[in-house]
Chain A
Amino acid sequence: MTERFDAIVIGAGHNGLVCATLLAKARKRVLVLEANEQVGGAAVTRDFAEGFSVSTCAHLLYQLQPAVSKELGIEPRLAANDLATIALDTSGQHVRLAGDDVSGVGGADRTSYREFRKRMTRFADLLNGHLNAAPPRLGTSDRKDIFKLAKLGFDIRRLGREEMQEFLRLIGMNIYDELDERFESDLLKGALALDAVLGTHLGPRSPNTLMTYLYRLAGNHGRLSVPEGGMGDLTGMLAQAARTAGATVRVAKPVRRIVVNNGRVTGVETEDGESFESLTVISNADPKRTVLELVGARHVETGFAQRINRLRASGNAAKLHLALEGLPAIKGLEDADYGQRLVIAPDEHYVERAFNPAKYGEYSPEPVAEITFPSVHDPSLAPDGKHVLSATLQYTPYSLRSGWDGGARTAFLERVMKTLALYMPDLEGQIVARELLTPVDIEREFHITGGHWHHVELSLDQFMFVRPVSGAAQYAMPLDGLYLCGAGTHPGGGVSGAPGRNAARTILSREKSR
C-alpha cells in the first residue's frame, strides 16, 4: 500500500522547504523527499576536513526575501550582519564598500557611488516587487495577468520621466559601460563588475549584466550576512518549520522518477523502490533534471522538451574550502576586517579577461574570487584558533574542454593558489586541508544539472516571462500535476526563497479557482 499525499516536494533545498512549509500551513499533507543525508540542497553546512565545516555552496546570505521569513515565522540566526565588501589590492590600498558608502577611493567616486547606489537600489526595489509573484502570462485575457502587467508598466512610469528613461536604458546594458561612465577607481569597478557576474556565464562587458547586478540587490539591497552555523543552519530551520507545519521531511530518499499515468503526474518512485502517490508533485530540482530525467521527455510535447533541453545551464562558479591553522596575513587589512567579504577583482578588465576562456571551455588562468573567513564570526566551524576560508571562484566552466577529472583540477588549483598568494603570501603554510568543488562536483553532490547556482543561466532571455522556458514561467509545467519550485524558475537562484514561495502560492491559488 503506497502512501498518499496532497503534495510531494522533490528536494529539500531551501526553495523546496519554503514551498512545502507554505503548503503544509494551508493544511496540505506534504511529503518532502531529499536525496542527500542532509536537508538544505546546496544550502548546507558540512565537514570538509576533520573538525572543519563550511557552507558548501552559498556562503553569504543577502537575498532571503523578508516575506519568506515572515510567513514561515523564522528568524535566521546571524553570526554577522551588514558585511562590508573589501576589494583587495596587492599593495594594501584596499577599497571598502559598506552600504551606500565606499572608502579608499577619490571624492568624486564616493559621490558617484552614492548616486549609483541610490538609483540601483531604487531600480532593485522596482524589480523586487515583481520577483515575489509568478510572472504574468502575455496576451491572455486573464484579469490577473493584465493587472500584473499593468502594474509593471505603472511601476516603471512611477519612477518619473527621467528615472524611467534611465531604467529602460540600463536594463539591457552591460555593467562595464555604466561603471566606466561613473567611476575612476579600478578596484571599485572590479568589485562591482564581479557582483554583476557572480554565478553567471557573463562578463562585465556582456549586455544584461546590469540586470544581473540589480537582481543581486533585490530583496535586501545586497546587504550581506553570515548565518550562524553556516547556511545549513538556515535550511535546518526551514526544515523544522516545515515539520512544525505538518510536512514530512525524509532524507536519503533520492527520487528515481516522477510517475506519470494517463497524461498526468500521480506520484513519485524513489531509488530504493518505494512509491508515494500524489496528484501534485513539485520539483525543487532543476528543470532539465526534472523534465528530461525524472519525468522523461516522452511524457511532454516535443517543443517543450526541446526548449528544456537547450536551456543554458552550465555553471561557471567553483567553491574552494581551505582549513587553516590560522588567518593568513593580508597587507593593509585590519584584523577586524577579516570577517568581511573580500574580493579579488582588481579591475573590470581583469574580470572580463577571466571570463574570456570560459567561452571556449577553459578555466580562468587568473580567476576572480569572493572570499570569506566564516570562522571569524562563527568559531563553531573550526577547531579552536583555527580558521576556514570559503571562496567562490570564477570562471570554471562545467564543460571544461579537457574535462575536470584529469590534471585540470590540480592545474586550476595551482592557478588559484597563485592568485591568492598575491594577496595572502603566507597562505600556503597555513593550509591543513583543502577542497575544491567544480561545477561537476556540485552537479554530483547536489544533483544540479551543470552545477549552475541559478540552475539555469540568469540572463534576460531566460528571465521572468521566459524562465525557465516560454510557456512554463508560472511554476506549473505543461504536464498536469507537475510544478517546479527551484532556482530554475522565476525569479532565479540565490538563497531567496522566492521561487519556493511563489510556487506554493500559485498552487494554492489554482486550487482555489478550481
Chain B
Amino acid sequence: MLEQFFILSDRGDTIITKAFRGELNRKEYEVFFRKVKFWKGDAPPVFHSDGVNYYFTKKYGMFFVLTSKELCSPSFVFDALYRTMKVFRDYLGVLDEEGIRKNFILIYEIVDEMYDFGYPQIMSTEVVKEFVINEAVVVSKPPSSAKPSIWNKNTVSSSAVTRPVSSTLSTKKKTKRQEIFVDIFDKITVLFNSNGFVINSSIDGVIQMKSYLTGNPELRLALNDNLIIGGSGEMGKSAITDCSFYECVDPTNFENTKTLTITPPDGEFLVMNYRITGEFQTPFRVYTFIDEVNPFQLQMVLKVRATFPGDHYAKNTEIKFPVPKSTSSVSFEASPTQEASYNKSEQNAKWVVKTFQGAREYSLTAKISLGKAAESSTRKEIGPISMNFDIHMFNVSGVTVKYLKIAGSTSKSGPHRWVRYVTQSSSYVART
C-alpha cells in the first residue's frame, strides 16, 4: 500500500510530508525532487527509483506525490491522489501554496483521516468533516485566477464557486446563499476525412454539480425522456452507449424514468459520465481546397461552417494546421475581426475566430510561399486541421435536464439552481 504523501513547492521546498508507514526519511522527497528536476524532458507521472514507486501530479505550482514500495494499482493511486486534492480544495476554497502553508495543521489532520497505514479510508469532504476539528483559514484571492479557462467569466454568477465548502457549512449565518450548480459538458471527438465525411465521432459527456445547500437534501435529477441507454438510437433521439455513475448517485430508476436520486456531498462532485458513439450532428463542418498557384506558392482555402443554431455562438474558436516544412512565409486573407498567424518554429498556422456565430460560414485564404519548389508530397504536409472551441448553452448530445427537485423545498422559493450546457472540443480534426 501507500507509503508516503508529500507536497513540494516547485522549488523543492517541502510543504507537507506525511509517512503512512515506516519512518519518514528526508531523502525520499529529495530523491523525488532531484529525479523530477533532472529528468530529460518531462518526468512521467509514475516512476521508480531505488525500491520506491513515485506517483505525482504537478498542479497549482506544487508537486503532489504519493509513494509506495509494494505492488499498487496505478489507477488506484491516481484516483486517491486526485481525490485528496479535491478534499483540500473543498476545504480551502482555492488550492494554492499559501493556503496550504497557512492551513498545514488542518491538512495533516485531513490526511490522517483520509489514509490509515496507507489505505485510503474516508475520501469525501462531508464525511471527513465529521472527524476534523480544525477550521480553514481562508486566504483571500481574486477568484478569476483560480478557475480553469472553461469557466467563462460571464457565466459564473456567484462568488460561491471559489468559496470554501466547510465555512459555508459550519458557520451558522443566515445570509448564506442556497444555490446549486449543474453543468453538462459534452466533450466531442470528431474525425473527418479529406472529403468532409465523418470517419469517427464520439461524445464524452459529464454531469457535474457543485452544491451549497445546507443539510445536504436529497436531489432528484430528471433528464429528458427521449434519452436511450445502450444500443444505437434512431436519429432525433439521443442514445447513450454507456454511462457510469458516481457514488452519491442511485441510478436504480434511471433506465425507466431517466431520474437519478442524488445524495449530494458538499462542494464539487461528479454525477455521471456518459459516452455516445455513432452519428450526431457535428457542430462544425470543415472544407479545404488546396491549389498550386505556381511551384513556389500554394493557396489554401479553408471554409468552416457552423451547423448549430444561429442563436448560439462559439467562443474563441481556434483552428490550427501544420504547413509544409519548406514554407518560407504565409499570408492570410480573412475578415478583419479574425486573427490568423503563422508560427515559424512550430511550422503551423493558427486562425482565431473570437465569436463564431451559429449557422454562419467563415473562410480563410492562406497563401503559402515555399522556399523550394513543391513536390507531390508537399501538399500532403498541410493538415490535418484541428479545432478548439467552446459552445455555451448548447450541447450536441441532447442530454438535457428536465427538472431538478430538491427535497424539502417548494419549487418556487427554493434555492437557486443554475444549469449550464457546454460543448467542448476534445479532438476535432479534419484531414486534408
| A and B held together in a complex | no
